[in-house]
Structure 1
Amino acid sequence: MSKSKFKVAIVGAAFAHSPDGRERFSVRAHIPALLNQSETFDLAAVCTTKMESASETCRHFGIPNAYDNVERMLAEMPDIDIVCVSVRPSVHHRVAMPALKAGKHVYCELPMAVSTAQAQEMYDAAKAGGLHSQVGYQHHFEPASLHMAELVRSGFIGKPLSFSHGFVSGAYIMPRPGHREWLFQAQDGGHPGYRSGQSLQRVMAVLGADVTDICADMRVLAPERRNTDDNGVIRGNQVDNMNYLLRVGGDVMGMMQTSLTGWFGTGTRFEIYGTQGMLMLGTTDTPDNWDKATGGGDPTRGMLKLYGARVSDEQMHGGPIAPERLQRAFREIEIPARHTYVTGFKHGQAAFEVAQAWHTFAQGLRTGKPSSPNFRDVIKIHYVLDAAEASVAANGWQKVDYSRL
Structure 2
Amino acid sequence: MARLRIGIVGANAERGWARDAHLRAIRAIPDLEIAAVSARTQTIADQAATLFGAASAYDDSHALAHDPQIDIVAVTVKVPEHRAIVMAAIAAGKHVYCEWPLGRDLAETQEMADAARAAGVHVAIGLQGANAWAVRHAAALLGEGVIGRPLSLRVVSPTAGWGAASPANYAYLQDKANGATLSTIAGGHTLAAIEAVIGSYAEVGARASILTDTMTIMGTQESVARTCADHLLVFGQHASGCVSSMEIIGGVTDVPFQFDLRGDKGSVKITGDHPGGYQVAELTVTTSPPAAPQPAPVVAGVRTPSTNVAELWARFANDISTGTRTVPDFDRAVRLTRLLDAIDVSSDQGRVISLEIV
Using the size of structure 1 for normalisation, the TM-score is: 0.82
Displacement of 1:336 in angstroms is 2.3
Query: Is residue 2:327 matched to residue 1:372?
Result: yes
8 Å CA contact 1:162–1:252 kept in 2: the answer is yes
Return the alpha-carbon distance in structure 1 between the equivalents of residues 111 and 328 of structure 2. 17
Displacement of 1:7 in angstroms is 1.2
Q: Could you say which residue in structure 1 is the equivalent of 2:130?
A: 140
For the residue of structure 1 that corresponds to 2:129, the secondary structure is helix
Return the alpha-carbon distance in structure 1 between the equivalents of residues 181 and 354 of structure 2. 17
| Cα shift readout 1:285-308 (whole Å, capped 9, x = no counterpart) | 678xxxxxxxxxxxx975422221
Query: Is residue 2:264 matched to residue 1:309?
Result: no
What amino acid does structure 2 have at the position aligned with 1:73? L
Q: Could you say which residue in structure 2 is the equivalent of 1:35?
A: 27
| Cα shift readout 1:162-219 (whole Å, capped 9, x = no counterpart) | 2111102332224222222112121222577213001100001112x21121111111
Q: Could you say which residue in structure 2 is the equivalent of 1:271?
A: 260
Return the alpha-carbon distance in structure 2 between the equivalents of residues 265 and 98 of structure 1. 42
Q: Could you say which residue in structure 2 is the equivalent of 1:358?
A: 313
Q: Could you say which residue in structure 2 is the equivalent of 1:314?
A: none
Q: Could you say which residue in structure 2 is the equivalent of 1:328?
A: none
Query: Is residue 2:63 matched to residue 1:72?
Result: yes
Query: Is residue 2:343 matched to residue 1:384?
Result: no
For the residue of structure 1 that corresponds to 2:85, the secondary structure is helix
8 Å CA contact 2:266–2:288 kept in 1: the answer is yes
List, as ranges, runs of 4+ consecutive aligned residues in structure 1 with deviation greater than 4 Å. none
Displacement of 1:234 in angstroms is 3.4
Give aligned pairs, total. Answer: 354
Q: 1:279 to 1:192 in 2, by over 3 A?
A: closer
What amino acid does structure 1 have at the position aligned with 2:348? A
Q: Could you say which residue in structure 1 is the equivalent of 2:243?
A: 253
Gaps of 5+ in 2: none
Q: 1:379 to 1:265 in 2, by over 3 A?
A: farther
Return the alpha-carbon distance in structure 2 between the equivalents of residues 191 and 251 of structure 1. 29
| Cα shift readout 1:256-286 (whole Å, capped 9, x = no counterpart) | 1111133x33231111112221111112x67
Aligned counterpart in structure 1 of residue 119 of structure 2, from 113, 119, 129:
129
8 Å CA contact 1:269–1:280 kept in 2: the answer is yes
Displacement of 1:356 in angstroms is 1.2
8 Å CA contact 2:162–2:251 kept in 1: the answer is yes
Q: Could you say which residue in structure 1 is the equivalent of 2:51?
A: 60
Structural mapping, 1:46-57, within 5 Å: 46-57=37-48
Q: 1:116 to 1:302 in 2, by over 3 A?
A: closer
Query: Is residue 2:24 matched to residue 1:24?
Result: no
Return the alpha-carbon distance in structure 2 between the equivalents of residues 190 and 231 of structure 1. 24
Displacement of 1:373 in angstroms is 1.7
Using the size of structure 2 for normalisation, the TM-score is: 0.92
Q: Could you say which residue in structure 1 is the equivalent of 2:196?
A: 205
For the residue of structure 1 that corresponds to 2:321, the secondary structure is helix
8 Å CA contact 2:129–2:280 kept in 1: the answer is no
For the residue of structure 1 that corresponds to 2:54, the secondary structure is coil
What amino acid does structure 2 have at the position aligned with 1:14? N
For the residue of structure 2 that corresponds to 1:157, the secondary structure is coil
Q: Could you say which residue in structure 2 is the equivalent of 1:282?
A: 271
For the residue of structure 2 that corresponds to 1:385, the secondary structure is helix
8 Å CA contact 1:163–1:271 kept in 2: the answer is yes
Q: Could you say which residue in structure 1 is the equivalent of 2:301?
A: 344
8 Å CA contact 1:100–1:126 kept in 2: the answer is yes
Q: Could you say which residue in structure 2 is the equivalent of 1:184?
A: 174
What fraction of aligned residue pairs are identical, expressed as a percent? 26
Return the alpha-carbon distance in structure 1 between the equivalents of residues 143 and 333 of structure 2. 21
| Cα shift readout 1:24-64 (whole Å, capped 9, x = no counterpart) | 10011112211222x21121100112111111111223211
Return the alpha-carbon distance in structure 2 between the equivalents of residues 373 and 273 of structure 1. 26
Return the alpha-carbon distance in structure 2 between the equivalents of residues 238 and 265 of structure 1. 22
Return the alpha-carbon distance in structure 2 between the equivalents of residues 190 and 173 of structure 1. 15
